[in-house]
Amino acid sequence: MSAQPLTHPTVPPDVHLDLRTAFGQAAASTWVVTGSGERGPVGFTAISIISVSLTPPLVSFNISKNSSSLVTLAHTGRAALHLLGEGQEALAQRFARDRSKRFVDDDVWAYDDHGLPRLRDVRVRLITRVQDLVDAGDSFVTIARVEHATTVPGRPLLHHAGAYAPLATPTTAGA
């Protein structure tokens, strides 16, 4: 069977808004991606981090082509991924907004032994090496190899319908 070229039909303008609304209905874990380069630390909030493979250990995340962190992550090839926990809404919001205020509070972060910004009190921290940046519309899909993983028990911070929320307490069936 021969591969057929993909066609890209014209997309109605309202599909973009509909798609944003549709994906907003899916709850996602809230992460902060950090890196560091010649101009200092960089970082952003991400809800697109997923496991790709256990062998080799790969994850992926999206980064906007307009992101102030893109040049640093592409140049250094290193990133730390932090899964935020319950009660860390302010940290998620900080890294989603004005980049000049992301690293102002030394009580929240410090450099680790790899020279990467380490956020304190997170549920999971992954040290990664970027393997590939795949051009995908207005973003790049980043494929990164996990070199180290640290996990602390606790409940994650979720993102749903444009807002942050804690994970609901599980109920026992039949209770």
Judge whether 109 and 120 are in contact, CB under 8 Å. Answer: yes
Q: What's the pLDDT at 99?
A: 86
Structural domain contains residue 165: no
Per-residue pLDDT tens digits for 23-71: 676 788 999 999 999 989 999 999 989 999 999 999 999 999 999 999 9
Which backbone phi and psi does 13 adopt, to 5 degrees?
A: -55, -35
Structural domain contains residue 36: yes
Range of the domain at 77: 29-160
The pTM of this model reads 0.86
Structural domain contains residue 172: no
Query: Domain count of the chain?
Result: 1
Residue 128's CATH number: 2.30.110.10
